[in-house]
Amino acid sequence: MAAAVLWACASESASTEATTSTSAATTGAGGGTVDGAELSAPDYFAAKVFPEFSLTCGACHTSEENCVPKFMENEPSPTYELMRQHPGLIVPPDSSNLRLYGAHSGPNLTATQDETVRIWLSKEFPDDTGENSQRLALRALGDCMSETDYEDSAFNALAHQQTADAGPCGACHKTGEAGTWIGFNAADMYDKTKKLPYIQRLFRAKFDGSTFVGFGPSTRLFDKPEFAAQCGERHPQGLIDPQKRVATETYIQDALDAYASGNCQ
The residue-averaged pLDDT of 40-48 equals 97
Asked if the bond preceding 197 is cis, omega within 30° of 0, the reply is yes
The residue-averaged pLDDT of 85-96 equals 97
pLDDT (0 to 100) of residue 31:
64
The residue-averaged pLDDT of 69-92 equals 95
d(CA 26, CA 115): 9
Question: Are 152 and 145 a contacting pair, CB within 8 Å?
Answer: no
Does position 78 have pLDDT exceeding 70, yes or no?
yes
d(CA 191, CA 234): 27
Does position 25 have pLDDT exceeding 60, yes or no?
no
Does position 130 have pLDDT exceeding 80, yes or no?
yes
Does position 125 have pLDDT exceeding 50, yes or no?
yes
The residue-averaged pLDDT of 220-245 equals 87
Q: In a 3-state reduction of DSSP, which class is residue 183?
A: coil
pTM over 0.85: no
What is the band of 137 on the pLDDT scale with cuts at 50, 70, 90?
A: very high
Structural domain boundaries of the chain? 2-124, 134-261
